[in-house]
Amino acid sequence: MTMKINQTTLALVRGDITRERVDAIANAANERLMGGGGVDGAIHRAGGPTIAVECSAIRAKQGGCPTGQAVITTGGNLPAKHVIHTVGPIWRGGDAGESELLASCYRESLRLAVEHGIKTIAFPSISTGVYGYPVAQAAVVALNGVKQFLEAHDGLDEVRFVLFDDVTYGAYENALATMEV
């Protein structure tokens, strides 16, 4: 499923983000940039130790990455040239600023991408695994966040959501269908 926003294609696909041949993939990281389970673990395993070395250099310099922000490393052995590590909010019921923080993850990742001349970027569904954000709500926030950014900024050819399972893919498909109306 795809739609066009100005010059940029917004696409939804099912798959494993570690296999994406794009300029950058986003990682659902944690504030310490330590590498954990889920997509984070998969990215570090597939990309090799270089990514963790670069993360520890960022940690030494700025103490990690606050929730809602993003940092960039190379992609190590991944097909993607870069990894943009962004820290999604932990779901605490919805009244703790979760939607603003989640929207900020997408916006800050896209801002970093444009700054680095990245043309194609893939996102996983940030916060909807271990961090517990309800996927139907997260999908709306994610797609609207990306849409708002693309309406205001040129430079990206494609933003692709790479969704790992049917339930997550379905939630994003529903959210995109609603958005098109």
Q: Please give the positions annotated as active site.
A: 40
Selected range binding ligand ADP among 51-59, 107-115, 140-148, 158-166, rule: CB under 6 A: 158-166
Report whether 161 contacts 129 (CB < 8 A): no
Angle between helical axes of 38-47 and 50-62 (0-180°, round to 10): 120
Nearest residue to 84 (alpha-carbon basis) of 156, 169, 175: 156
Binding ligand ADP (rule: CB under 6 A), the pick from 10, 24, 80, 126 is: 126
Binding ligand ADP (rule: CB under 6 A), the pick from 5, 58, 114, 130 is: 130
- Residue 45 carries which side chain, given as an amino acid letter? R
Query: Rounded to whole angstroms, how far apart are CA atoms 85 and 91?
Result: 19
The residue count for binding ligand ADP (CB under 6 A) is 21
145 membership: H or E segment, kind and range: helix 135-152
Q: Which residues touch 72 (CB under 8 Å, ≥6 apart)?
A: 24, 82, 83, 84, 85, 112, 116
Selected range binding ligand ADP among 57-65, 113-121, 128-136, 153-161, rule: CB under 6 A: 128-136
CB of 43 to ligand ADP, least distance (A): 7
Q: Determine if 166 is a binding residue for ligand ADP (CB under 6 A).
A: no
Q: Determine if 129 is a binding residue for ligand ADP (CB under 6 A).
A: yes
Q: Determine if 150 is a binding residue for ligand ADP (CB under 6 A).
A: no
Q: Determine if 124 is a binding residue for ligand ADP (CB under 6 A).
A: yes
Q: Determine if 98 is a binding residue for ligand ADP (CB under 6 A).
A: no
Q: DSSP letter at 54?
A: H
Nearest residue to 120 (alpha-carbon basis) of 94, 147, 157: 157
Within residues 12-31, the interface with ligand ADP by CB under 6 A covers: 16-18, 28
Q: Determine if 64 is a binding residue for ligand ADP (CB under 6 A).
A: no
Q: Determine if 165 is a binding residue for ligand ADP (CB under 6 A).
A: yes
User: With the C-alpha atoms ordered 82, 84, 85, 90, is the resulting torsion angle positive or negative?
Assistant: negative
Binding residues for ligand ADP, rule: CB under 6 A, are 16-18, 28, 38-40, 42, 88, 124-131, 162, 164-165, 168
